[in-house]
Amino acid sequence: MTISPTIERPPATIPKQIEDLTLLEEVATRTAGVSRLEMCIQCGTCGGSCPSSADMDHTPRMLFAMLRAGMRQAALSSNTPWICVSCYHCVVRCPQNVHIADVMYTLKSMAIQAKLFKDSTAPDFSQTFVDMVEEYGRSFEFGLATRHYLKHFPLRLPGMAPMGLGLLSKKRMSITPSRIKNIKQLKNILKRAKELEANDHD
């Protein structure tokens, strides 16, 4: 088949992904402590240490390479931070002392704010947990579990019943929440904290 010079070609598309080179700095600023994110030499120790990396879209190292390349959309849509179990193997082994696990928390919050997360169960679980804590001052496992499973894994509930009943019968779970006394104080603190956080990122 000869290629004729008059063949129709589709018009060239402008690539959708625009590099955002401020991404790295933004992530570093929003991380607790001094993240040292810019010191990464891409050695792969973090990816090698991670116990759950097999389930991640990108290994931690790859994610950091994407951050450095300014691939905001791809990095924040990755499921990697949500699969991170916070075991801190990466942090103690990293030869450049990058606070990898803490950067994962930052990426989670940035993903939620950008409404970009692919996997919806994880952020929702965190939000439900946090709602309970803000309401009662203590975590409420029974409430959390039932709301979460009903919403996301309703089919698993029957299978979980033996475990749930087991925990209830051994008094390891309570059906009613426990509360702190000065919940008002806590609410005030959190309200102010949220304001400060929002103002910081204008």
Q: Which of residues 36-55 bind another protein (CB under 8 A)?
A: 41-55
Q: How far are the Cα atoms of 47, 107, 117, 186 from residue 50, in angstroms, in the given order?
A: 5, 17, 21, 35
- Cα separation, 134 vs 36, in Å, equals 32
Question: Which strand (E) or helix (H) includes residue 135?
Answer: helix 121-136
Using the rule CB under 8 A, give the single segment among 1-9, 10-18, 19-27, 141-149 that binds another protein. 141-149
Indicate which single residue of 21, 97, 157, 161 sits in contact with another protein (rule: CB under 8 A): 97
Task: Please report the DSSP string for 66-108 in residue order.
Answer: HHHTT-HHHHHH-SHHHH-----HHHHH-TT---HHHHHHHHH
User: Which range binds another protein by CB under 8 A, 2-10, 12-20, 67-75, 191-199?
Assistant: 191-199
Tell me the Cα Rg of the chain.
Answer: 22
| C-beta separation of 90 from 45 below 8 A | yes
Q: Do 144 and 129 meet the contact criterion of CB atoms below 8 Å apart?
A: yes
Whether the Cβ atoms of residue 175 and residue 155 lie closer than 8 Å to each other? no
* Residue 148 interacts with another protein (CB under 8 A): yes or no: yes
By the rule CB under 8 A, 150 interacts with another protein: no
> Half-sphere exposure (CA, 13 Å, Cβ side) for 93?
13
Q: Which stretch binds another protein (CB under 8 A): 3-11, 13-21, 70-78, 80-88?
A: 80-88
- Of 18 and 161, CB closest to another protein: 161
Measured from the CB atom, the residue of 38 and 156 that comes closer to another protein is: 156
Q: Judged by CB under 8 A, does residue 167 bind another protein? A: yes
Does 146 engage in binding with another protein (CB under 8 A)?
no
Of residues 24, 37, 81, 103, which one binds another protein by CB under 8 A? 81
Min CB(102)–another protein separation in Å: 8
- What tokens were used for 24? 């790295």
The distance of closest approach from Cβ of residue 21 to another protein in the complex, given in angstroms and rounded to an integer, is: 22
Touching another protein, residues 108-127 (CB under 8 A): 108-109, 112-113, 119, 121-123, 125-127
For residue 193, state whether it binds another protein (rule: CB under 8 A): yes
Site membership for another protein, residue 181 (CB under 8 A) = yes
